[in-house]
Amino acid sequence: QVQFVQSGTEVKKPGASVKVSCKASGYMFNFYAMHWVRQAPGQRPEWMGWINPRNGDTKYFQRFQGRVSITWDTSATTSYMELSSLTFEDMAVYYCARGNVDTGFDYWGQGSLVTVSS
């Protein structure tokens, strides 16, 4: 069955970087983009970007451009999302999700909490 297992809670200081992982299993990876979405408490989900595992192409939401990097490790079947220059506004639960415009996001990871604290 399709499954995404994400890394655990992270506590970072302002200005630091965080790297969250998402191990995928149970499906043909090349057929689906891997997306990253975050949700801060009481806020709407916010899409950050996606990666095409087949060729490594990425697209990032403009507001994160230059600060986010999404990668895919084929041998580990794992996607990584790294966000730099953290501020308190980056405190959120970060999710990986599979999908495209035709399918919606049909499978999600369990979420990784990122806390930013001085």
Partner 1 sequence: SYELTQPPSVSVSPGQTASISCSGNMLVDKFVSWYQKKPGQSPALLLYQTSKRPSGIPERVSGSSSGNTATLTISVTQAMDEADYFCQAWDRSTVFFGGGTKLTV
- The number of residues that bind partner 1 (CB under 8 A) is 21
Binding to partner 1 by residue 94, rule CB under 8 A? Answer: no
C-alpha distances in Å from residue 41, one per residue of 3, 7, 92, 93 = 25, 19, 7, 8
83 makes contact with partner 1 (CB under 8 A) = no
110 sits near partner 1 (criterion: CB under 8 A):
yes
Chosen residue from 16, 52, 67, 111 binding partner 1 by CB under 8 A: 111
Distances (CA, A) of 30 to 1, 7, 64, 80: 16, 22, 25, 16
Mention every residue, 6+ apart, whose C-beta is less than 8 A from residue 57: 51
Residues 9-68 that bind partner 1 (CB under 8 A): 35, 37, 44-47, 59, 61-62
Q: Which residues bind partner 1 (CB under 8 A)?
A: 35, 37, 44-47, 59, 61-62, 95, 97, 101-106, 108-111
